[in-house]
Chains A and B, each alone.
Chain A
Amino acid sequence: MEIALQSLRIILEPSHFLMLISGVLLGLAIGILPGLGGIVGMTILLPVIYGMDPHDAFALLIGMVAVIPTSDTFPSVMMGIPGSSGSQATIMDGYPLAKKGQAARALSAAFTASLFGGLFGAAVLTAVIPIARPIVLSFGSPELFMLALLGMSMVGVLSGNRPIKGVLAGGLGLMIGALGAAPALPEYRYYFGIDYLMDGIPLVIIGLGLFAFPEIIDLLIKGKAISEAPTLGKGWLQGVKDAISHKLIILRCSVIGVIVGFLPGLGGTVVDWISYGHVIQTTRDRENFGKGDIRGVLAPESSNNAKEGGGLIPTLLFGIPGSGSMAVFLGGLLILGIQPGPSMVSEDIGLLYTAIWSLALANVFGAGLCIMLSKPITRLTIIPFTYIAPFMILILTLASYQATRSWGDLIALLIMGILGWVMKQYGWPRPAALIGYVLSDNLETYLFISVQRYGIAWITRKGVIILALIIAISMVLSILWKTKKKPTTKLVYDSDKQAS
């Protein structure tokens, strides 16, 4: 406790505090720019931290990474373009809300959820440190495979009334994920002698291609502003109220976020989809999801901020990064001369608390700044899109080019974009394809390891059986709770009236 307070004092000193704020500002900027995420932010900061005091560097890096999932909500809600990979699911309901002229409400609900999720992540990080090691160690490869399978089972709920198309789209995602270097064998698959395909297609390109590109095309075809309602509405307080009245959803999804971030190898990129799927699965009146249900915004936004707290655990205690940005953070630790490991909780405990405080404070400032920024930014939704489109296409292209900085990125973006547009036109669920793509590597790797190591006996492990039951129960429940399809009306539902 004393050490924790001492770390707080250190971080509140002007020089450290300045670092934290710089990190937060950079993180907010990166989050707002579509397609750029924590990896890019870390890459920008890595050359800067050389020779820096570790407490300063921690404040800067963690401040940056903590707020990306807060500000990346802007493009997701307002334009239907993922701000970073953590807020793809926010599009599903946030964007329809913006179309109805309720962008303000969606944003304030999202920031409130983000704030709670982030603080929850920091709190869990503090509480779990003494028992983190045995928990992480209890998840072997077979259990991690089952967790990936649990993620895959979300494909069903995310496909709504088109289960067959959903499964096929998920399969397509798995196949795209299989391009390039095989995870466990020294082989390159389906790369057709093209250097670019040796490492497969990067996640950024899949995300932007499947979600951003089709949206831009459709908006241009319509030639109107994003918001179909003429006014922005005054939903600020409404959004906060929404968040408060659905506090249990936020809590559950924060827990999911921490767990997914916490487990090494699962990666944070699907956490928004998992929590989004979870909310649909556990809700009876679900016909409004995808059409602007505020719960569909709260769920992903609380979990994606919470995952950053969870993600620090394997990175700092085991030296195994839980996500792409944590992998770069790990490099930063080595540049600072810090070797992660069990000593983080003994010798370097001060640093660990600096990390926790940075995380908590950054979330508070991030959410605060986002709320202040949102009034001017939401005005974008009433500008005719033809003025915004060239700028968006430029940013999209730049962000994609960041992935590997080769021409292949742009070609891949075009191909994925066309694929995404076709899928949208014909009602193929794109989230299913994305989940398949993201999880394909985990599914293959962990199954491969499980079978090599344990033979068929991996199925009989306790953890595997428990997870199999969870998957079965959640699938059965989601089928049982599926309400009969009502005749669709053109009326705009006010979803939170139904919920309360």
Chain B
Amino acid sequence: MSKKMLVIGIALFIILSIGMAPTVHGVDFSKKTIKWIIPFKVGGGSDVWSRLYAPFFRKYLPGHPAVVIKNMPGGGSIIGGNYFDRKVKANGLTVFGSSGSTTFPYLLGVREVKYDFSRYYLVFASPFGGVAYINPKFGAKSVQDLKGFKEKLAYASQGATSLDIVPLLAFEMLGLDVKAVFGYKGRGAGRVAFEQGEADIDYQTSSAYIKNVRPLIKQGAAIPLMTWGVLDEKNKVVRDPMEPDLPCFPEAYEMIHGKRPSGQAWEAWKAFFTAGFAVQKGMWLPEKTKKDIVETYRTAAAKIIADPEFKVVVQKSLGGYKQLPGEQGRKAFEQVLKVPPESKVWLYGWLKDRYDVTVK
């Protein structure tokens, strides 16, 4: 009896191992450690994001390697990005996590940036959304009421070359007279400034908006205006599913100007919106990584995103946005790589005129 069992067991084992082998594509990470470089401090948004993903990569990468986060903060993530470009071997054991703050200096052509996203392989990307709102004392009940609005509004900003390019450019395109006050450390500080009356107009990422701004709206202390939107499959900016009752920015533009947005400003906005929100964070493999390794990673990412357990994580901690595996993420990121040069030139001019900032 037991002999029979043993034979069946061996047979099953052989069948299973034959059955399993082809799906591994020869890539196996058993007993290996994968290092995930995060160019930010421990506890920041990108760090949290990577730590939420890391255990699932262990689960789904062949051989169940240990996945460790290596924080390499400095120079607003430029130092970690340059390290990834220059020092990392293309053996699939080191990956890089980028955020909007990594992509922006790249897009702006900041001198210190040595990394180039057109040369790497995107494993997956994570979108984040933003919601803008205004102090009710100005009388606007919705974004429509901002047509022809003349009053000066203060906005608490982290800096003219930070993610704030997206809201500042959006306000500008809507014809608002917004004065950016620089020096705030993060969106939380910006929200407190809004509550203090130090700022008149503000935006928050969706999850912070839901927890912190919706109560203000209920009390009548804030009026929601618009979301930045999300990208659909055709890379069109559409309404944010987290706040579907609010218009997205292109709709808001149309409400005020009576036509769809177009031109240099719009192209620039779309590129920075994509880099800063629609594909804010991404996991990258270095240049010259073998195709089968890239495929292994992308397959693992697709499996993670489909995992019901991970869906709960996305809902609870990643703003609930649809994560973009492999090809989907890459297609969306094309918006960032293919910004028309004249749009960039236009943006340089705008930054110089408005904020006296010279990036190039």
Contacts and interface: CB of A to CB of B under 8 A. Distances in A.
B215 A342 contact: yes
Nearest to B69: A47
Given A185-B159, A186-B357, A318 B182 contact: no
A205 to B, nearest CB: 14
Contacts of B197: 140
A454 to B, nearest CB: 9
Contact of B183 (A341, A342, A452): A452
A13 interface: no
A184 B182 contact: yes
B48 A342 contact: no
Contacts of A50: 51-52, 55
Interface string A402-413: 001100000000
A53 interface: no
Interface stretch (A290-298, A328-336, A371-379, A380-388): A328-336
A339 B211 contact: yes
A341 B191 CA distance: 11
Task: Give the interface residue-count category, chain A.
Answer: 35 or more
B312 to A, nearest CB: 8
Interface string A187-203: 01000000110110000
A319 interface: yes
A339 B44 contact: no
Interface stretch (A38-46, A247-255, A425-433): A38-46
Nearest to B157: A184
A163 interface: no
Given A319-B208, A319-B212, A343-B211, A452 B42 contact: no
Contacts of B185: 183, 265, 445
Interface in A192-228: 195-196, 198-199
B182 A265 contact: no
Given A318-B192, A331-B42, A404-B74, A448 B183 contact: yes
Interface in A55-113: none
Contacts, number: 130
A96 to B, nearest CB: 37
A363 interface: no
A453 B154 contact: yes
A339 B210 contact: yes
B186 interface: yes
Contact of B75 (A188, A264, A446): A188
Interface string B261-286: 00000000000000000000000000
Contacts of A405: 72
A395 interface: no
B211 A140 contact: no
Contacts of A342: 211-212, 215
B192 A320 contact: yes
A343 B215 contact: yes
B196 interface: yes
Interface string A316-349: 0011100000011111101101011111000000
A51 B52 CA distance: 9
Interface string B152-173: 0010000111100000000000
Contacts of B73: 199, 404
Contact of A186 (B160, B186, B188, B192): B160
B243 to A, nearest CB: 15
A334 B196 contact: no
A141 interface: yes
B200 to A, nearest CB: 10
A137 interface: yes
B287 interface: no
B198 to A, nearest CB: 5
B158 to A, nearest CB: 9
Contact of B79 (A198, A319, A445): A198
B234 interface: no
B295 interface: no
16 contacts: A183-B183, A195-B75, A198-B78, A320-B189, A320-B192, A327-B44, A328-B41, A331-B42, A331-B43, A334-B48, A337-B317, A405-B72, A445-B183, A449-B183, A452-B179, A453-B154
Interface of B: 41-45, 47-48, 51-52, 55, 69, 72-76, 78-79, 82, 154, 159-162, 179, 181-186, 188-189, 191-193, 195-198, 207-208, 210-212, 215, 313, 316-317, 357, 359
In the A-B complex, the 9 residue pairs with the closest CB atoms: A331-B43, A184-B183, A337-B316, A328-B43, A341-B211, A320-B188, A198-B75, A341-B212, A339-B211
